[in-house]
């Protein structure tokens, strides 16, 4: 029914012009790119951009990325990745040769974010409280160990020498650990993290 489609679009246009809609979308964007609890002042500015530009998301993102809040040290790396983001990042940074992609789905099921099976229409949670607990962190650790072990039940194989040709069989633990910091964390591991891991060598 063409008339029904027109009326539906009119309703959407009306909703998009409402301050409540702008604030809701602004909050979602700021929560995604800044912090689980983003500063309200930033949310308000993004909402104002949304209304001013008739809902242009690119402009809203520009407002976020050029804001002083986005660059504040307390928000740097404040977000915790969802299981899907974590697994995808691990596969990418290790340049994993993904020979058994079905194993990835098994891992995500174990972590609580199976592909395409979220029941609420709002999607999986996007805040750390939903993904950070002792069991979930252990699952992440075990996946990392599985991925680098190249065992038969791993999603694929990882060639560590390809990631850093300076590594050689028989290298000491400190050299290997420093390589991991460089390759996987771009040298951004905190002093405390380095100290704790060094003590385990």
How many angstroms separate the Cα of 78 from the Cα of each of 56, 73, 158, 188? 26, 9, 28, 14
Matching residue, tokens 């290298």: 171
How many angstroms separate the Cα of 174 from the Cα of each of 41, 163, 166, 168? 45, 17, 13, 13
Q: What is the pLDDT of residue 170?
A: 67
Q: Which residues contact 113 (CB under 8 A, 6 or more apart)?
A: 82, 83, 84, 124
- Arithmetic mean of pLDDT, 89-118: 93
* Percent above pLDDT 70 for the chain: 99
Q: What is the pLDDT of residue 6?
A: 85
Instruction: Assign 169 a pLDDT band (cuts: 50, 70, 90).
Output: low
Q: What is the pLDDT of residue 154?
A: 92
Closest CA to 75 of 87, 84, 67: 67
CA distance 47 to 82: 25
- Arithmetic mean of pLDDT, 117-122: 89
Task: Say which range, 15-29, 61-75, 95-109, 181-195, has the weakest mean pLDDT.
Answer: 181-195
Instruction: Assign 1 a pLDDT band (cuts: 50, 70, 90).
Output: low
Compute, in degrees rounded to 10, the torsion defined by CA atoms 22, 28, 29, 31. Answer: 140
- Arithmetic mean of pLDDT, 65-85: 92
**Does pLDDT of 10 surpass 80?**
yes
Q: How does DSSP classify residue 127?
A: S
Mean pLDDT of the chain: 90
- Tokens found for residue 144: 């990392």
Helix (H, G, I), strand (E, B) or coil at 157: strand
Task: Say which range, 34-43, 76-85, 86-95, 161-170, has the weakest mean pLDDT.
Answer: 161-170
Question: Which has more confidence, 33 or 12?
Answer: 33
Q: What is the pLDDT of residues 174-191, one digit of tens each?
A: 888 888 888 888 888 888
């Amino acid at each position: 029914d063409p008339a029904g489609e027109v009326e539906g679009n009119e309703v959407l246009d009306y909703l998009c012009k409402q301050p409540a809609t702008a604030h809701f979308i602004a909050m979602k964007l700021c929560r995604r790119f800044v912090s689980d609890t983003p500063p309200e002042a930033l949310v308000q500015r993004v909402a104002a951009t949304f209304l001013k530009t008739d809902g242009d998301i690119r402009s809203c993102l520009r407002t976020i990325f050029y804001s002083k809040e986005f660059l504040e040290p307390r928000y740097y790396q404040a977000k915790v990745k969802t299981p899907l983001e974590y697994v995808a990042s691990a596969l990418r940074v290790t340049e994993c040769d993904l020979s058994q992609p079905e194993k990835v789905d098994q891992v995500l099921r174990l972590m609580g974010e199976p592909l395409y099976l979220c029941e609420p229409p709002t999607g999986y949670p996007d805040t750390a409280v939903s993904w950070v607990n002792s069991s979930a962190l252990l699952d992440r650790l075990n996946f990392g160990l599985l991925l680098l072990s190249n065992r038969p039940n791993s999603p694929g194989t990882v060639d560590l020498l390809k990631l850093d040709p300076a590594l050689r069989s028989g290298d000491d633990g400190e050299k290997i650990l420093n390589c991991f910091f460089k390759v996987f964390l771009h040298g951004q591991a905190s002093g405390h993290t380095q100290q704790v891991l060094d003590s385990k060598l």
